[in-house]
Amino acid sequence: MLGISIRDLPNAILVWCCAHMIYQIDTGYACFGLVVKDGTIVEAAPIAKWTIGKNVGGVLDYYRKKKAKVIGPLIDKGPLMDERASG
pLDDT, one tens digit per residue, over 41-87 is 999 999 999 999 999 999 999 999 999 999 988 865 544 444 444 44
Predicted local distance difference test score (pLDDT) of residue 16: 47
The answer to whether the predicted template modeling score (pTM) of the entire model surpasses 0.75 is no
Cis omega (within 30 of 0) on the bond before 73?
yes
Distance CA 34, CA 21 (A): 8
| 18 vs 47: CA distance, rounded Å | 26
| Alpha helices per DSSP H over the chain | 9-19, 56-65, 77-86
Name every residue whose Cβ is closer than 8 Å to that of residue 3 and which is 6 or more positions away in sequence: none
